[in-house]
């Protein structure tokens, strides 16, 4: 209090103390933007002022220090009496399109008059008549305005109006569509996702041309404001799964989302598990197939990797090519894949356990050969295996990080030189080099990189158990892994389904891939309301060319192996067609066909009920 009186006596008046910053109006923006951080919540409370100068000063204050920020003033309306301004970021906006669709129409059509300030151009006239751009939005707060400007849009402000126009004239360069690098196929589409989220969603939309494909947008990251899109198919997805995905995404609060891996680590069920619980892929066909299976896709801007949930253990071992090739070829490849999985996890451990503790299990000729190869090796089998595995992992990582031509040469030449030099020096045996090489090759067979990395990590503790306890340690490690897998869940779905819990229909697409005409059902744990993915009786055969015949009562017959020769009868087919959710059954003639199918189904049920209660005639 004494300080205040002394200050008043010295100055002759009492100066106003600085009030807390309030950002409800542009005039309250602090004069020193360097010491103030503008977040989304703060900008959300700021509304445009009807005075253009106030809005321009607010933009210049918030964007102070940005050399790529451009703000230009111009005049419109009769006699060029109305003041306007446009704000955009250089390099993010297509300047040619901006001149053609925004500046030129507004500055040349000076005969547009109305009831605006000073007899100028009304806001609706500018929005509906002067703008020639395809995407023009009306915004009334600074959060939406800055969100558009920072992503390449142009903001048009007009004096006398408390709202502005956000024009989509994005012009930043993006990577062209190319073949996915991490998921190569022999047969299948050759295009992969890019770093542009709208381009990625468009590739999925092009494959699933149905209005039931829903894409919901949200923003994550206090600083990055990264665009996220949640994709699912209405009628196929479980609504509880969509709610769970939205809930887990809404709780994420951090500075920025640079890649989808940030989100993956924050939404998985068990963060301490070495196994991946969320799919990531850069193939649009794989995402489309997952959506048709009742899953949810999470698109993240600035990354080509899309997340798919839920992710079960079996789905990480399946490749899109399994469904593009004939079923017997796909089944053979899958069997090889499972054998490679076991080899990549257990092959070094089995060698260590047998050589160290269980020599009696080895045939005599092979035992003599192994003993001869280990003559002069100074290390036990465990140390030998750990040394070679570590060297192989270093070479593999070096090959990935170096430029592609150099990396391949380093991987191949390095493995050959190091392996041959190690055997010649007597540090390791030749059989150990073969086992490590086979293990490394087997790990590349896995189509999912994150699952292959998990198996590589688990290989080392199992090797330690094998070196300490022999085969008992190997089996103990495998049992611990199986128990852990049985307890895992991915967004509420058991990780080992359809094996545990067991579902007989789901087993058709596990180790062996059944023909397409036998894969009528979707995954039971994911989609329970709409379990069928195709119509019944799709098995090809000569009976398809037969003409369906009807008896005197108008009922379909099974003559000549008709279309209802399987367990599905005519009533179930009509029920399937009636319950189908697809766009081909929505509106127009197809709606009438649905009503007809429903009526036929009810009549068929009534006639069957009458026949069941009809008394039998005595002979």
The pLDDT of residue 343 is above 70 = yes
CA distance 350 to 595: 64
The pLDDT of residue 122 is above 80 = no
User: Could you tell me if 308 and 339 lie in one domain?
Assistant: no
User: Could you tell me if 94 and 154 lie in one domain?
Assistant: yes
CA distance 148 to 81: 28
User: Could you tell me if 462 and 345 lie in one domain?
Assistant: yes
Lowest mean pLDDT among 185-194, 433-442, 490-499, 501-510: 501-510
Phi, psi of 139 (to 5 degrees): -125, 150
Residue 133: which pLDDT band, with cuts at 50, 70 and 90?
Answer: confident
User: Could you tell me if 482 and 577 lie in one domain?
Assistant: no
Mean pLDDT for 406-412 is 68
Quick check: is 176 in a domain?
Answer: no
Number of domains composing the chain: 4
pLDDT at 228: 94
CA distance 153 to 494: 44
Q: What percent of the chain stands above pLDDT 90?
A: 29
Contact 352, 431 (CB under 8 A): no
Q: Cα 329–331–336 angle (5° rounding)? A: 95
More confident residue, 30 or 461: 461
The CA–CA distances, whole Å, from 86 to 52, 109, 142 equal 11, 17, 14
Quick check: is 511 in a domain?
Answer: no
3-state secondary structure of 231: strand
Q: What is the DSSP letter of 312?
A: -
Residue 262: which pLDDT band, with cuts at 50, 70 and 90?
Answer: very high
Contact 314, 328 (CB under 8 A): no
Quick check: is 95 in a domain?
Answer: yes
Residue 467: which pLDDT band, with cuts at 50, 70 and 90?
Answer: very high
Quick check: is 175 in a domain?
Answer: no
User: Could you tell me if 455 and 602 lie in one domain?
Assistant: no
User: Could you tell me if 481 and 349 lie in one domain?
Assistant: yes
pLDDT at 26: 52
Adjacent-strand bridge partners of 139: 164
The last residue of one of the domains, among 275, 290, 313, is 313
Residue 588: which pLDDT band, with cuts at 50, 70 and 90?
Answer: very low
The pLDDT of residue 160 is above 90 = no
User: Could you tell me if 260 and 144 lie in one domain?
Assistant: no
Phi, psi of 588 (to 5 degrees): 65, -140
User: Could you tell me if 454 and 359 lie in one domain?
Assistant: yes
pLDDT at 609: 53
User: Could you tell me if 307 and 207 lie in one domain?
Assistant: yes
Mean pLDDT for 434-456 is 89
Instruction: Report the Cα 48 to chain-centroid distance in Å.
Output: 37
Cα dihedral 357/362/365/370 (nearest 10): -40
The pLDDT of residue 493 is above 70 = yes
Domain enclosing residue 150, as ranges: 26-167
276-312 confidence digits (pLDDT tens): 999 999 999 999 999 998 899 999 999 999 999 999 9
Residue 302 — left, alpha, or beta (φ > 0 → left; ψ -120 to 50 → alpha)?
left
CA distance 15 to 12: 9
User: Could you tell me if 41 and 139 lie in one domain?
Assistant: yes
- Edge-to-edge strand list for the sheet holding 154-158: 69-76, 82-89, 154-158, 164-167, 136-139
pLDDT at 564: 41
The pLDDT of residue 13 is above 80 = no
Mean pLDDT for 190-218 is 92
Q: What is the pTM of this model?
A: 0.77
User: Could you tell me if 399 and 478 lie in one domain?
Assistant: yes
Identify which of 397, 391, 439, 453 has the alpha carbon closest to the alpha carbon of residue 416: 391
User: Could you tell me if 571 and 439 lie in one domain?
Assistant: no
The pLDDT of residue 33 is above 90 = no
Quick check: is 19 in a domain?
Answer: no
543-587 confidence digits (pLDDT tens): 555 444 444 455 554 444 444 444 444 445 545 444 444 444 444
CA distance 75 to 86: 11
pLDDT at 128: 83
């Amino acid at each position: 209090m004494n300080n205040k009186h002394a200050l008043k006596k010295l100055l002759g008046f009492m100066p106003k103390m600085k009030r807390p910053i309030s950002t409800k109006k542009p005039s309250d923006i602090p004069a020193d933007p360097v010491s103030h951080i503008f977040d989304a919540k703060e900008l959300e409370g700021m509304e445009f002022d009807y005075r253009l100068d106030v809005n321009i000063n607010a933009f210049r204050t918030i964007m102070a220090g940005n050399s790529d920020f451009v703000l230009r003033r111009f005049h419109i309306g009769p006699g060029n009496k109305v003041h306007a301004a446009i704000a955009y970021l250089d390099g993010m906006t297509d300047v040619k399109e901006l001149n053609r669709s925004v500046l030129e129409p507004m500055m040349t059509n000076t005969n547009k008059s109305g009831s605006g300030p000073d007899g100028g151009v009304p806001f609706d006239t500018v929005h509906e008549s002067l703008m020639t751009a395809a995407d023009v939005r009306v915004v009334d707060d600074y959060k939406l305005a800055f969100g558009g400007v920072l992503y390449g849009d142009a903001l048009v402000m007009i004096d006398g109006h408390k709202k502005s126009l956000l024009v989509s004239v994005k012009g930043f360069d993006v990577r062209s569509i190319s073949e996915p690098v991490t998921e190569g196929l022999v047969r299948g589409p050759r295009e992969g996702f890019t770093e542009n989220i709208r381009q990625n969603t468009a590739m999925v939309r092009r494959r699933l041309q149905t209005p039931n494909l829903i894409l919901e947008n949200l923003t994550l990251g206090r600083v990055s404001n990264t665009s996220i899109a949640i994709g699912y198919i209405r009628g196929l997805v479980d609504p509880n799964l969509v709610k769970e995905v939205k809930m887990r995404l809404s709780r994420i609060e951090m500075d920025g989302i640079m890649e989808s891996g940030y989100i993956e680590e924050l939404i998985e069920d068990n963060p301490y598990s070495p196994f991946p619980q969320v799919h990531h892929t850069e193939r649009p066909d794989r995402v489309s197939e997952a959506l048709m299976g009742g899953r949810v896709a999470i698109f993240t801007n600035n990354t080509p990797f899309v997340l798919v949930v839920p992710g079960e253990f079996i789905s990480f071992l399946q490749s899109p090519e399994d469904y593009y090739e004939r079923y017997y070829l796909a089944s053979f490849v899958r069997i090889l894949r499972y054998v490679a999985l076991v080899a990549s996890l257990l092959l070094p451990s089995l060698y260590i356990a047998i050589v160290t503790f269980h020599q009696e299990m080895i045939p005599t000729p092979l035992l003599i050969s192994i003993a001869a190869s280990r003559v002069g090796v100074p290390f036990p089998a465990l140390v030998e295996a750990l040394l070679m595995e570590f060297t192989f992992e270093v070479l593999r990582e070096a090959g990935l990080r170096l430029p592609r031509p150099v990396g391949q040469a380093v991987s191949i030449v390095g493995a050959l030189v190091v392996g041959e030099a190690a055997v010649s020096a007597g540090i390791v045996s030749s059989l150990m080099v073969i086992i490590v090489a086979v293990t490394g090759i087997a790990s590349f067979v896995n189509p999912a990189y994150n699952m292959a990395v998990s198996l590589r990590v688990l290989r080392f503790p199992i090797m330690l158990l094998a070196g300490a306890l022999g085969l008992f340690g190997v089996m103990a490690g495998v049992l611990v892994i199986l128990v852990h897998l049985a307890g895992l869940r991915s967004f509420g779905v058991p990780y080992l389904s359809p094996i545990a819990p067991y579902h007989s229909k789901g087993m058709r697409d596990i180790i062996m891939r059944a023909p397409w005409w036998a894969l009528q059902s979707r995954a039971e744990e994911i989609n329970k309301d709409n379990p069928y993915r195709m119509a019944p009786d799709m098995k090809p055969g000569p009976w398809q060319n037969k003409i369906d015949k009807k008896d005197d009562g108008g009922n379909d017959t099974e003559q000549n192996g008709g279309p209802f020769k399987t367990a599905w009868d005519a009533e179930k087919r009509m029920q399937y067609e009636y319950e189908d959710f697809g766009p081909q059954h929505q509106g127009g003639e197809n709606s009438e066909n649905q009503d007809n199918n429903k009526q036929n189904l009810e009549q068929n049920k009534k006639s069957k009920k009458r026949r069941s209660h009809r008394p039998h005639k005595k002979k």
